[in-house]
Amino acid sequence: MHVERTGQGPALLLVHGWAMHGGVFAPLVRALEVAFNVITVDLPGHGGSRDSALPLALDPVSDALAALIDEQPSKRALVAGWSLGGLAATALAARHPDRVRGLAMLAASPRFVQGPDWPAGMDPRVFELFGEELGRDYRGTLDRFLMLEAQGSAHLREELRYLRDAVYARGEPAPRALQEGLGLLHDSDLRAALPGLAMPSLWIAGRRDRLVSPQAMQAAAALAPRSRFQQYDHAGHAPFLTEPGAVAEALTAFAADCAP
């Protein structure tokens, strides 16, 4: 996978969401690199990893992320996952707990869709429709998803413009990976892994998020030991774009409470 590193200090790995790449975190990285060695990756099929042979599946991706962390001097990292990246981060924390000193979920949930015991999730048909539309209108489907991500933000126009510029900044994401990612969002349920997490977790939500409700994140945080929940009232699905400085401060404070 394509990897970029910047800054000095303890390792902090950022994992992006569906259709994006590590470059989407640029505002957050600028706020974090003074205190961390920030590592961003492009997931398989995205950005610089567009031609990666690795499938966009939780087990191989989490194993690859663990190998990446193993290259660090401390062989441990604080791991933050946004949206789809939160699933990969959770799988990493569950499969390789010795590599993760703290798990931060940025507008991410262990289960994205509704169920009888998970009413705060999305209607599963949303992800099914995106999958059906990809083959007919690739760019239009991506744009509709970006609009859904930006909706609710107090800075909707600015965030939507940023996301539209970012999504193709490293080339078009591979259609195969987009379908695999939608499948993960539709099918994954990692709630059973949360009670056994060996590290603290931080759950950062946007009150106006249209994809991952704060209620779902609070319910998930309640399943994990040593968890804390933080909500940004003016943010939608990308709180690190709405308030990068505040999110960086929250991650820095959280890192101080995690085992070195």
Active-site residue list: 83, 209, 237
Summarize pLDDT for 174-216 with one digit per residue, the tens. 999 999 999 999 999 999 999 999 999 999 999 999 999 999 9
Question: What is the fold, at CATH topology level, of the domain defined by 2-256?
Answer: Rossmann fold (3.40.50)
Whether the CB-CB separation of 11 and 66 falls below 8 Å is answered with no
Q: How far apart are CA 108 and CA 121, in angstroms?
A: 11
State pTM to two decimals: 0.95
Q: How far apart are CA 29 and CA 44, in angstroms?
A: 21
For position 259, what pLDDT does the model report? 72
Give the amino acid at 208.
R
Q: Which among 225, 199, 189, 11 has a CA at the least distance from the CA of 109?
A: 189
192-227 burial code (b ≥16 CB/10 A, e <16): ebbeebebbbbbbbbebbbbbbbebbebbbebbeeb
List, for the chain, all residue ranges whose pLDDT scores fall below the cut of 70: none
For position 226, what pLDDT does the model report? 95
For position 154, what pLDDT does the model report? 82
DSSP 183-245: HHHHH---GGGGGG-SS-EEEEEETT-SSS-HHHHHHHHTTSTTEEEEEETT--S-HHHH-HH
